[in-house]
Each structure stands twice: as C-alpha cells, then as structure tokens.
Copies of this chain bind each other. A is one copy, B any other.
Amino acid sequence: MTKQDYGRAFALWREAAAGPWRAYTQHSFVEQLGNGALPQTAYLHYLRQDYIFLFHFSRAWSLAAAKAATIDEMKAAIGTAHALTHVEMPLHVETCAAHGVSASELESTPEENENIAYTRFVLEAGYSGDFLDLMAALAPCVMGYGEIGLRLAGAHSPYSAWIETYAGKDYQRVCEQAGALIDNALNNRLGKDWQSSPRWPQLCKTFAAACSLEAAFWDMGLRAPQ
C-alpha cells in the first residue's frame, strides 16, 4: 500500500490539490531518495535546511497550541511541538553529525528563500487565520512525509534510514493522529457538513499552496547551496 487516508479532510484536500500534491510527493528529489541517485551533497543541503525548517515547524505547532479551543487540541499540539524539539531535533543533530556536519555548522546554516517561503506561509496562515487555517498549512508536511515514506518503504537506497523513519509505525501514527485532530477541529468549528462551508474551498487553497511551497523546497534541495 502506498497511499494512506490519514483522515477524511486530508483525503479530500489531497484530491482537491492533485497536481501540487503530485509535484511535491513525487518530486525528482523524492524519487532520487528512493532509487539512491540523489547526490550526497544534495542530501546534506536538504538536511541542513531541514534543521532550520524543524525550528519554525515547532514554532508553528506551538502557535497551534496557543490557538487551540479545547484541552485536547492543546495537548495534541503541545505534544507534537514537544516531540519535535525534545526528540526530533536532537536526532537531527545526531544524523547530521554522522554525516560530518557539526552542530555549530547546522546552527549557522543560512536559511534559503524556499525554506523561508514555506515556514513563514504556515506561521502567517496561523497568525492571520484560526486553528483550521494553520492545520491546512501544516498538513502537507506532516502527511506528505508519511505518504512518501510508505511509497518508498523497502527501497534499496543509501537513504533507507530516512525512508524507514517516515514509513515506520511511529510516524504513521503521528499522521493518523494529526488527521483525527483536523477532522475533529473541523467538526467542532464548522459542523459535520464542513465541506459545504465557504471556509472549505479556502482551506483547500491553503493546502494546495503549501504543497506548491513544499515542491519548491525540494527544488532547493537539488540546487547547489547558496
């Protein structure tokens, strides 16, 4: 199985943004991760930018907690931010160290435009809008990595550790929980029939824009560092 429905809203968002979703999740960078053709320099370029990305992504989940309407939403958002900052980011530092990139090099990496573009889009969607806008902007990252992991799982590639992280049960569960969080948030704010709300096409637009910005992030990965 290569495609997982991580909740009802996600499946609909993905369908509505079919083009940008494909451009993002089947990007050449991703294919090369799977078949092993990706140059090590491109991978390291990506890893270094991804560290900065994780910092801003943790800020975005923290903002989601600030915008939560219920204790359950808040616990889910803070739990995610906590896992990102206390587990994922330290792991990322270790992974980079194993590839010869020191923590201080990581910290001093200049943030590139495509990295700025996606992270600030997510945060601004959250600040200017509400919890739902933030979720629509976050979802492509969370679930896209899950779907990519599942699709490439079992590949013989020097990047199989990366692949198996996202194909693994733990990460798949993160995606399912995010999907449930989003479905509940929609139900609680717009009612069961949220697809017929005028908010829905706007949320679909936010999701699609985020996919496009994710694809541009992979473009950056393939390019020489600035």
Q: Which DSSP category, helix, strand, loop or mixed, fits chain A's interface?
A: helix
Chain B residues with Cβ under 8 A from A117's Cβ? 113-114, 116-117, 120-121, 213
Chain B residues with Cβ under 8 A from A64's Cβ? 62
Residue of B nearest to A60 (CB): B66
Residue A42 lies at the interface, judged by CB distance under 8 Å to chain B? no
Q: A55-71 interface mask toward B, CB cutoff 8 Å, 1 = contact, 0 = none?
A: 10011101111111101
Residue A100 lies at the interface, judged by CB distance under 8 Å to chain B? no
Per assembly, the copies of the chain total 4
From B69, B78, B199, contact of A62 by CB (8 A): B78
B62 with A77: CB separation less than 8 A: yes
Q: A171-206 interface mask toward B, CB cutoff 8 Å, 1 = contact, 0 = none?
A: 000000000000000011111000011110010000
Q: A66-110 interface mask toward B, CB cutoff 8 Å, 1 = contact, 0 = none?
A: 111101001101110110011001000000000000000000000
Residue of B nearest to A89 (CB): B71
A190→B166 CA distance, assembly (Å): 36
Interface centre among A62, A79, A127, by most chain B C-beta atoms within 10 angstroms, is A62
A137→B115 CA distance, assembly (Å): 17
A198 with B209: CB separation less than 8 A: no
Residue A167 lies at the interface, judged by CB distance under 8 Å to chain B? no
B116 with A123: CB separation less than 8 A: no
A191→B85 CA distance, assembly (Å): 26
A-B contacts besides A59-B66, A75-B85, 20 pairs, CB < 8 Å? A55-B74, A59-B65, A59-B67, A62-B66, A66-B128, A67-B129, A78-B78, A78-B81, A79-B82, A81-B81, A111-B209, A116-B213, A117-B117, A117-B213, A120-B120, A120-B121, A127-B128, A188-B198, A189-B198, A190-B199
